[in-house]
Amino acid sequence: MEQSQSNLDPALQRLLTRPDIWQGRGASAHDAGEATGFERLDAALPGAGWPRGALTELLPERAGIGELRLLMPALSRLSRGARWVAWIDPPHVPHAAGLYACGMDLTHTLVVHPRNADERLWALEQALGSGTCAAVLGWPGALDAKQSRRLQLAAEAGGSLGFLFREPEAGSTPSHAALRLSLAAHRGGLALTPLKHRGAWPGDALNLSASELFAPGRPARGMVTVGTG
């Protein structure tokens, strides 16, 4: 029988709150991942896909190397379901024609432009925890361990796939994300190096070719844009 954390020794309770400690748990509905659309990546990831009800952090060496293309197969599939795909404070307005070409159903795409960092964190937490978003993409900027934990708990509560795009320097800071991937350009494709993962993917990079990343998607329909001010 599991021991309640309230009955644990105070020193152990403090240890369990550390962001660099992962607490193993029994199987749950989130253990099966959401297929990425890339067979070799699915084979490498625990759960055979993006972790559900959890955060995934993507740390590209620079913006625009294909980091969004990495998510398009999953996002296009999820956008054709009943829940939203939410974009929280993207650095550029998503290109509707490009998303359409990748197969996104844009009637289930929501773009939120917060006015400041506090609103950005609030919007991320609300979207992840609402239960109405299948996936949430966010550009959070700097996050401390407490904020990272809040977002991870929200993703668990809402059963959302949370994708946070962060600067390469963030890889050296603590995070409660289930998966952290460093991304680098590689011969027109992407090299994915795991910085943190739950499972047995080795530390070597997985290289996805340009032909894998830029396969054409299915057409879709219209988009919603929302501002908070």
The domain of 167 spans: 33-227
CA dist 143 and 196 (Å) reads 16
**pLDDT higher at 32 or 202:** 32
Q: What is the pTM of this model?
A: 0.82
Report the half-sphere exposure of 143 (CA within 13 A, side-chain side): 32
Q: What is the CATH number of the domain that holds 117?
A: 3.40.50.300
% of the chain surpassing 90 pLDDT: 58
The answer to whether residue 12 is domain-embedded is: no
The answer to whether residue 196 is domain-embedded is: yes
The answer to whether residue 186 is domain-embedded is: yes
Q: Tell me: the pLDDT tens digits for 36-84?
A: 999 999 998 888 999 999 999 999 999 989 899 999 999 999 999 999 9
pLDDT band at 9 (very low <50, low <70, confident <90, very high): low
The answer to whether residue 1 is domain-embedded is: no
Strand order in the sheet with 84-88: 206-208, 189-196, 179-186, 54-60, 161-165, 133-138, 84-88, 109-113, 224-227
Per the structure, the count of domains in the chain is 1
Neighbours of 104 (CB within 10 A): 27
The answer to whether residue 23 is domain-embedded is: no
The answer to whether residue 211 is domain-embedded is: yes
- Provide the token pair at 17: 């709150």
CA dist 74 and 71 (Å) reads 6
